């Protein structure tokens, strides 16, 4: 924590010109300064009513700042910054001190401060005395000469600040004394002083604060990385445990399946053996029946032959049955082919795409008669568009609707405007392009909502082969360009083929965009590169500026 000592008179103390009471820390400028700076600073109010730089006031004891500055510094050590705001009381009539004398005393006071402490110093010239102070309750202490002298203190104090290497604030440029007594500050003036002091303090410590912010950011990043590493370790442990659990479950299921399959195989083997025994028994019984039937048939044949006495052939002891086999003719593959019944695979010939289809798909193409006719129609529309006036807004919108592939709400393009075809351009709501915009839309150009172009913004999708013999055949190709929502592109920017620009992006003027730009950044240069992120600080600043409108 940095410690700041505010060493001053009644305007540092917080004296109210209305009722003579002391303002609270929510009103006096040292208290408000402490609130503005936050917890990383401690602001110490050492203001005293009637304090001078070097004079002993005959009407107020103990007000000589030269006598108590060193004690004050010792009481509040260690200190990082001392703010000195004195000089008004040194102009009182009965001291008869010129601005040069007051400045000389201030230089001696500053020398004592720098000899006593290594703290930095901000020297503040006091607010001007009110023009009517000779008619105020303080007219016995200050007159017209003192009013004039108050104007001369700032140059003298600024010179001292430069000589001793201190920062300087001219309070007359910040706040005015009240109309009540023409000397002391009203609450709203204390607030202005606190804001000016805050800006100067942050300037004094700008390098240290930037370094600390960077260290804090680095610490936060390390903490985040450690937290992410911890989370990854926990996740890996969880996944490992889950994997082991799944493997145990799979192993248990595999054992159960193996046991179940073994049981089923055993049951199947018992069933198969039983069926085999039954089959063998059935075959044995069938064989026995066949033997018996054959014997019966032989007996019958012998008896019949004996009865007819006409047996010409010896009866066979065993009779057989002849089986006829019907042979079928199988038409082979050759026959089928001859008959025309076999399918033979064909070779398909893909129809070639049109030149426009090639162009929009990024292939090499030639600008044929159809494309030239489409480009000529676009030229007619843009020629009419570029001849319109600001009084013909509806006509311009109608022409853009005819020209473009798709148009959002309230498009506005300042003539002159040029494009190749127009039918490959899509713009979202509230699109605005300033003078001399060119869009070579050989490939699709897609632009989101709330996109603003400065003058002379050029978007190119057309490309030509690097190899000259191919290029000389009038072959070319194109790459699509896309721009997201809420994008501001500065004047004289060139966007090359194939570039994709994200949402909430600012492109600085004169840039040549050769590669993709992500969301939420400010980018500029040739080639265009990312300069910084668009942050919450930007949002806060511009919302504050808008609130002032």
Give the catalytic positions in this structure.
464
Q: How many CA atoms lie within 13 A of 150 on its CB side?
A: 25
**Could you tell me how far CA 171 lies from the centroid of its own chain?**
41
137, 157, 486, 521 from 512: Cα distances, Å? 68, 50, 20, 16
CB 506 within 8 A of CB 488: yes
Q: Which residue, 114, 67, 109, 64, is CA-closest to 90?
A: 64
List CB contacts of 9: < 8 A, sequence separation 6 or more. Answer: 47, 48, 49, 50, 51, 52, 85, 86, 88, 89, 126
Partners of 501 in the beta sheet? 483, 517
**Could you tell me how far CA 254 lies from the centroid of its own chain?**
51
Q: Which residue, 115, 108, 80, is CA-closest to 6?
A: 80
* Length of the chain, in residues: 549
Q: How many CA atoms lie within 13 A of 509 on its CB side?
A: 8
Measured between its terminal Cα atoms, the distance across the chain in Å is 37
Helix and strand numbers, DSSP H then E, in the chain: 13, 24
Q: Helices (DSSP H) in 324-368: which residue ranges?
A: 333-339, 355-360
Q: What is the DSSP letter of 49?
A: T
Torsion angle of the four alpha carbons 227, 228, 233, 236, in this order, in degrees rounded to the nearest 10: 150
Cα radius of gyration rounded to whole Å, the chain: 51
List CB contacts of 152: < 8 A, sequence separation 6 or more. Answer: 99
Partners of 2 in the beta sheet? 41
CB 98 within 8 A of CB 149: yes
Q: How many C-beta atoms lie closer than 10 Å to residue 314's C-beta?
A: 7
Q: Which residue, 146, 195, 187, is CA-closest to 169?
A: 195
Residue identified by tokens 């069933």 is: 271
Tokens of 111: 């020398």
> Across the chain, which distance is largest between two alpha carbons, in Å?
184
Coil, helix or strand at residue 291: helix
């Amino acid at each position: 924590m940095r410690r700041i000592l505010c060493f001053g008179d009644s305007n540092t103390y917080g004296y109210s010109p209305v009722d003579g009471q002391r303002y609270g820390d929510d009103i006096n400028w040292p208290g408000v300064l402490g609130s503005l700076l936050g917890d990383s600073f401690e602001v110490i109010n050492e203001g005293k009513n009637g304090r001078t730089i070097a004079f002993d006031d005959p009407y107020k004891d103990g007000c000589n700042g030269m006598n108590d500055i060193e004690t004050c510094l010792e009481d509040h050590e260690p200190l990082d910054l001392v703010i000195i705001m004195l000089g008004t009381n040194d102009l009182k009539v009965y001291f008869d001190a010129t601005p040069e004398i007051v400045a000389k005393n201030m230089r001696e006071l500053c020398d004592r401060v720098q000899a006593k402490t290594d703290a930095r110093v901000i020297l503040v010239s006091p607010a001007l005395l009110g023009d009517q102070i000779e008619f105020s309750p303080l007219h016995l202490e200050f007159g017209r000469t003192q009013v004039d002298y108050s104007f001369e203190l700032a140059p003298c104090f600024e010179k001292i600040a430069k000589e001793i290497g201190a920062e300087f604030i001219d309070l007359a440029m910040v706040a005015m004394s009240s109309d009540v007594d023409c000397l002391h500050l009203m609450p709203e003036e204390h607030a202005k002083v606190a804001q000016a002091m805050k800006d100067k303090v942050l300037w004094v410590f700008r390098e240290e604060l930037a370094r600390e912010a960077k260290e804090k950011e680095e610490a936060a990043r390390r903490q985040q990385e450690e937290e992410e590493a911890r989370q990854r370790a926990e996740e890996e442990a969880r996944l490992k445990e889950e994997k082991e659990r799944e493997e145990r479950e799979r192993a248990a299921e595999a054992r159960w399946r193996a046991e179940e399959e073994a049981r089923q195989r055993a049951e199947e083997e018992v069933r198969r053996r039983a069926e085999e025994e039954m089959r063998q028994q059935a075959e044995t019984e069938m064989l026995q029946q066949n033997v018996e039937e054959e014997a019966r048939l032989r007996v019958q044949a012998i008896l019949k032959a004996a009865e007819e006495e006409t047996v010409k052939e010896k009866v066979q002891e065993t009779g057989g049955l002849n089986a006829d086999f019907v042979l079928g003719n199988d038409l082979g593959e050759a026959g089928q082919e001859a008959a025309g019944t076999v399918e033979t695979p064909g070779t398909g010939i893909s129809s070639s795409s049109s030149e426009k289809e090639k162009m929009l798909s990024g292939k090499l193409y030639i600008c044929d008669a159809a494309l030239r006719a489409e480009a000529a129609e676009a030229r007619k529309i843009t020629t009419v568009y570029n001849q319109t006036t600001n009084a013909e807004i509806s006509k311009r919108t109608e022409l853009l609707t005819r020209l473009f592939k798709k148009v959002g709400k309230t498009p506005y393009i300042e003539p002159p405007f040029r494009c190749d075809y127009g039918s490959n351009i899509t713009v979202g709501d509230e699109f605005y392009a300033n003078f001399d915009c060119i869009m070579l839309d050989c490939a699709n150009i897609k632009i989101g909502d709330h996109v603003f172009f400065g003058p002379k913004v050029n978007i190119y999708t057309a490309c030509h082969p690097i190899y000259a013999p191919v290029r000389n055949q009038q072959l070319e190709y194109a790459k699509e360009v896309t721009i997201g929502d809420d994008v501001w592109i500065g004047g004289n920017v060139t966007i090359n083929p194939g570039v994709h620009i994200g949402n909430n992006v600012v492109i600085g003027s004169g840039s040549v965009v050769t590669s993709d730009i992500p969301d939420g950044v400010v980018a500029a240069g040739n080639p265009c590169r990312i300069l910084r992120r668009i942050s919450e600080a930007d949002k806060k600043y511009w919302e504050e500026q808008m609130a002032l409108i």
